[in-house]
């Protein structure tokens, strides 16, 4: 969840009935019926074959050694490079569970559940256990809402100051999902430890909470932990480059800034599950007054694994969710450009924003193409994904590989003058599903030639750079269980 989501969440009301448990499991009779009826198709991709394509080797004639070296170089810069220009991983002491570390959005000077869970995924894929455990320890210590008066209790706060105090106690489902998947992979790679390092148990808890969190209501302000000082929510967004640009634009046009200045007066908030059961889709946020979804949150490749590895009573839902996400990718995409909006209704219709205009293709949207392409690479169940990847890459190719904007209206009108490495990385990963040829290869070459981002904007661009370098090198893989999970 990025800065645009902050504006959204600062306008949201939340709610909690304090005697209600955070979540409850399904009845045993329901579990036995759904588990017995569930049959799974392994598809025709890498999950079944065990063969993960390295497109840099196959199409650009690089060597496996070159691609592995590129990934390790990126990891070292991102996690252990220069603190001012390169890295976003910072260790900050230790507690009884061991080292603590956070991943920061450098431009905004906060730690986000999105970035923390992404950092854990990078670490487990590359076998970096110290970094994985340190990020998870910081997440559990500072970000997990435990105050009984907080309706988001059981969820991770999506944005924290780097000193461990909250900027927002609200939750973002994209972080929760990457936490769960990274923890399952950790259980499979390293085995389960004790306490917070019983990775499988922690992942099970997250997935149960996403579905079975009670609808809770309370009045702001909320604490993360019961004994914390009462936080003061900011009236404006933080001074990131995106905000500074928008502020300057507003001043030039004589418009107020920020456009959605909120009040810090107490307000009621209701928080429920992170998924919509009827549509089998992840919600944009669990606050009940804001329905709809975000196509870039949809991770059918992960859902397929949860349909096999999650607690038995959860598996049928995630099998449904994988199919629903594949359909949403096509419903949300523009028929000519292939661009998808940041937020949609469950039928793929763009959601209306707080400015009264429909959602456009923006920062969250970058991830949609790579999520879809990875699903195609791992499971290859939906041939429509090739057509959509082709459409999307063809549109951006015509805009110029080194110059396309990082925001567009869905019909293809530029909505910014910035070109972003993260968007390029995700678009190049579309090659995992796209038809091999001139356009797909051009994306691969452009991405390979593009250095890892440094400086103020290195957080989100850098995350997507590393993720998609790994995807395209065949080094982002399903880490199988050591034995069948019960």
Read off the pLDDT of each residue in 207-230 and give the average, rounded to a whole number: 96
pLDDT per position as a tens digit, 222-273: 999 999 998 876 666 666 666 777 778 888 888 887 766 667 789 999 999 9
Report DSSP letters for 444-482, one per residue: HHHHHHSPPP-STTHHHHHHHHHHHHHHHTT-S-----S
pLDDT at 111 over 50: yes
- 114 given a catalytic annotation: yes
pLDDT at 411 over 80: yes
pLDDT at 341 over 50: yes
Full-prediction pTM beyond 0.85?
yes
What pLDDT does residue 23 have? 55
Read off the pLDDT of each residue in 156-175 and give the average, rounded to a whole number: 96
**Torsion angle of the four alpha carbons 468, 474, 476, 480, in this order, in degrees rounded to the nearest 10:** 160
CB atoms within 10 A of CB 36: 10
pLDDT per position as a tens digit, 19-46: 334 555 444 444 444 444 578 999 999 9
What pLDDT does residue 239 have? 64
If we measure between CA atoms, which residue out of 48, 71, 91, 300 comes closest to residue 181? 300
What pLDDT does residue 240 have? 67
Domain ranges of the chain: 1-24+89-287, 38-87+292-486
Q: What is the mean pLDDT of the chain?
A: 91
Chain centre to alpha carbon of residue 113:
9
Asked if residue 7 lies in contact with residue 260, where contact means CB atoms within 8 angstroms, the answer is yes
CA distances, 43 to each of 79, 189, 257, 317, 474 (Å): 35, 24, 50, 18, 18
**Please, what is the end-to-end C-alpha distance for the chain in angstroms?**
32
What pLDDT does residue 237 have? 64
CA dist., res. 430 & res. 395, Å (int): 13
CA dist., res. 465 & res. 70, Å (int): 11
Q: Which of 26, 86, 105, 114 is catalytic?
A: 114
* Range name among 96-110, 134-148, 227-241 with the lowest pLDDT average: 227-241
pLDDT per position as a tens digit, 59-73: 999 999 999 999 999
pLDDT at 486 over 50: no
- 65 given a catalytic annotation: no
CA dist., res. 431 & res. 201, Å (int): 35
What pLDDT does residue 198 have? 98
**Which helix (H) or strand (E) is 90 found in, with range?**
strand 89-95
Kindly tell me the burial class for residue 161, based on how many C-beta atoms sit within 10 Å of its own C-beta (0-12, 13-18, 19 or more). Answer: middle
CA dist., res. 175 & res. 160, Å (int): 13
pLDDT at 16 over 50: no
**Which helix (H) or strand (E) is 93 found in, with range?**
strand 89-95
CA dist., res. 170 & res. 173, Å (int): 10
pLDDT band at 324 (very low <50, low <70, confident <90, very high): very high
pLDDT band at 159 (very low <50, low <70, confident <90, very high): very high
pLDDT at 162 over 90: yes
CA distances, 299 to each of 182, 357, 374 (Å): 13, 27, 9
What pLDDT does residue 33 have? 47
CA angle 144, 145, 147 (to 5 degrees): 140
Asked if residue 161 lies in contact with residue 142, where contact means CB atoms within 8 angstroms, the answer is no
CA dist., res. 179 & res. 157, Å (int): 13
| Helical packing angle, 312-332 and 28-37, nearest 10° | 60
CB contact set of 223 (below 8 Å; sequence gap of 6+): 147, 149, 150, 166, 169, 229, 230, 231
What pLDDT does residue 167 have? 92
Q: Is-same-fold flag (1-24+89-287; 38-87+292-486)?
A: yes
CA dist., res. 287 & res. 269, Å (int): 7
pLDDT per position as a tens digit, 357-388: 999 999 999 999 999 999 999 999 999 999 99
Chain centre to alpha carbon of residue 233:
24
Asked if residue 382 lies in contact with residue 390, where contact means CB atoms within 8 angstroms, the answer is no
Asked if residue 402 lies in contact with residue 449, where contact means CB atoms within 8 angstroms, the answer is no
CB contact set of 299 (below 8 Å; sequence gap of 6+): 177, 181, 325, 371, 375
What pLDDT does residue 353 have? 84
Q: Which of 131, 147, 176, 364 is catalytic?
A: 364
Query: Partners of 358 in the beta sheet?
Result: 352
What pLDDT does residue 17 have? 36
What pLDDT does residue 483 have? 65
Choose which CATH entry (2.40.50.100, 3.90.1150.10, 1.50.10.10, 3.50.30.30) describes domain 1-24+89-287.
1.50.10.10
Q: Residue 64, CB half-sphere, CA atoms under 13 Å: how many?
A: 5
Domain 38-87+292-486 has what CATH class? mainly alpha
What pLDDT does residue 232 have? 77
CA dist., res. 41 & res. 151, Å (int): 38
């Amino acid at each position: 969840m990025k800065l645009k989501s902050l504006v959204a969440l600062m306008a949201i009301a939340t709610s909690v009935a304090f005697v209600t448990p955070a979540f409850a499991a399904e009845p045993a009779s329901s579990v036995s019926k759904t588990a017995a009826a569930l049959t799974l198709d392994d598809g025709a991709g890498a999950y079944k074959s065990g063969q993960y394509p390295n497109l840099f080797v196959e199409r650009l004639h690089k060597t496996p050694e070159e691609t592995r070296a590129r990934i390790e170089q990126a990891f070292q810069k991102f996690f252990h490079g220069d603190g001012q220009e390169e890295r976003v991983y910072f260790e900050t002491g230790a507690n009884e569970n061991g080292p603590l570390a956070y991943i920061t959005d450098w431009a905004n000077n906060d730690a986000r559940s999105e970035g923390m869970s992404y950092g854990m995924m990078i670490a487990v894929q590359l076998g970096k256990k110290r970094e994985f455990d340190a990020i998870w320890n910081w997440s559990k210590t500072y970000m997990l809402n435990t105050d009984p008066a907080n309706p988001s209790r059981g969820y991770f706060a999506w944005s924290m100051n780097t000193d461990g105090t909250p900027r927002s106690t609200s939750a973002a489902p994209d972080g929760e999902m990457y936490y769960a998947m990274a923890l399952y992979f950790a259980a499979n790679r390293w085995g389960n430890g004790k306490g917070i390092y019983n990775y499988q148990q922690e992942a099970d808890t997250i997935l149960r909470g996403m579905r079975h969190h009670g609808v809770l209501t309370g009045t702001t302000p909320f604490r993360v932990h019961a004994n914390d000082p009462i936080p003061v929510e900011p009236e404006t967004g933080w001074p990131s480059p995106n905000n500074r640009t928008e502020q300057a634009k507003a001043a030039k046009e004589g418009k107020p800034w920020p456009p959605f200045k909120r009040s810090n007066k107490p307000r009621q908030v209701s928080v429920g599950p992170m998924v919509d059961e009827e549509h089998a889709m992840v919600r944009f946020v669990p606050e009940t007054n804001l329905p709809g979804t975000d196509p870039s949150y949809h991770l059918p490749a992960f859902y397929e694994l949860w349909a096999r590895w999650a607690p038995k009573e959860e598996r049928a839902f995630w099998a449904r969710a994988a199919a629903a996400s594949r359909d949403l990718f096509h419903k949300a995409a523009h028929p000519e450009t292939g661009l998808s909006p940041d937020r949609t209704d469950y039928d793929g219709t763009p959601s209306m924003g707080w400015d009264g205009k429909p959602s456009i293709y923006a920062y969250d949207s970058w991830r949609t193409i790579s999520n879809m392409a990875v699903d195609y690479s791992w499971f290859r169940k939906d041939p429509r994904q090739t057509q959509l990847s082709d459409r999307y890459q063809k549109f951006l190719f015509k805009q110029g590989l080194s110059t396309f904007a990082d925001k567009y209206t869905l019909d293809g009108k530029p909505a910014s003058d910035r070109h972003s490495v993260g968007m390029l990385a995700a678009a190049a990963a579309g090659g995992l599903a796209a038809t091999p040829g001139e356009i797909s290869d051009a994306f691969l070459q452009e991405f390979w030639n593009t250095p890892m981002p440094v400086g103020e904007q290195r957080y989100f661009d850098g995350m997507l750079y590393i993720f998609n370098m790994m995807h395209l090198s065949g080094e982002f893989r399903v880490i199988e269980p050591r034995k069948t999970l019960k």
